[in-house]
Amino acid sequence: MVEVLVVAHGGGHLPGLERIGGPLCEAHVIAGLHDSVEVVTQQEATPARALFMMPMARIVHVAAHGLTHPNRWAAGLALHGGSLGEATLTSSGILAEGVFSSVDLVVLNACRTGTHQGTGRTVQTLRSIESAFLARGAKAVISTLWDITDLQGVVFSAVLHAHLGVGADSHTAYTETIRYLRGHRWRASSERGPVFAAESAIDTILPDWRSHLDRQVTENPLFWAAFKITGVV
């Protein structure tokens, strides 16, 4: 059993799934913030392999394209496969084959994993892909309420896992990460602790990330509110 399993796919292999760099950056950053990490990326990151390996980790992190659908059971995460149907880890697939009773935290760092594509005037209930993980035993799930950029995903993941890597529980790690993002704390570099480790990890692959994040925050000041945590926290 490993501490953290990272499943990352940047798309680009099927029509309609543009290639994004964020998932592979996240995998690289997270791998350096824990002592025991298994990373599965690109061609190896099929839905079947992901579901097989997830029960073997205490923390599961998925970085990929998120796919919404009017049929909530067809919504999911775009991983690797010969067609979109084969590549999508769907809510129905998770409910049918997922076993997550030993998983403390699932991080679904993809667009709209914490919401569903309703039809008409519907109440937004727990029908998204996060609900499938919770139903199959995951103690807590971090998901997103709307689209996020690659950079937002990378920074959120780095700070979150830096706190998890030093022993913080899921709620504390999430709370500290939101405080970091909401308070724009990247503008004053940290000199020690988990945040220093997170910022240093991002610096190695994205040297100008602070200025780029500043520009994105100008366009969307509430970007930090996209991330939510659900479950036993």
Report the percent of the chain where pLDDT is more than 70.
95
Q: What's the mean per-residue pLDDT of the chain? A: 94
Instruction: Give the pLDDT of residue 232.
Output: 84
67 or 123: which leads in pLDDT: 67
Instruction: Give the pLDDT of residue 162.
Output: 98
How confident is the model over 25-72, as pLDDT tens digits? 999 999 999 999 999 999 999 999 999 999 999 999 999 999 998 888
Q: What is the pTM of this model?
A: 0.95
**φ, ψ for residue 63 (rounded to 5)?**
-125, 115
225 or 16: which leads in pLDDT: 225
How confident is the model over 182-216, as pLDDT tens digits? 999 999 989 899 999 999 999 999 999 999 999 99
- Rounded CA separation 156/80 (Å): 24
How confident is the model over 124-133, as pLDDT tens digits? 455 689 999 9
How confident is the model over 77-96, as pLDDT tens digits? 999 999 999 999 999 999 99
Instruction: Give the pLDDT of residue 125.
Output: 52
Instruction: Give the pLDDT of residue 72.
Output: 87
Is the pLDDT reported for residue 233 higher than 80?
Answer: no
Q: Mean pLDDT across the stretch 161-165?
A: 98
Three-state SS sequence of the chain: CEEEEEEECCCCCCCCCCCCCHHHHHHHHHHCCCCCEEEEEHHHCCHHHHHHHHHHEEEEEEECEEECCCCHHHCEEECCCCCHHHHEEEHHHHHHHCCCCCCCEEEEECCCCCCCCCCCCCCCCCCCHHHHHHHCCCCEEEEECCCCCHHHHHHHHHHHHHHHHCCCCHHHHHHHHHHHHHCCHHHCCCCCHHHHHHHHHHHHHCCCHHHHHHHHHHHCCCHHHHEEEEECC
Instruction: Give the pLDDT of residue 121.
Output: 52
Q: Mean pLDDT across the stretch 3-26?
A: 96
Instruction: Give the pLDDT band of residue 227 (cuts 50, 70, 90).
Output: very high
Instruction: Give the pLDDT of residue 118.
Output: 58
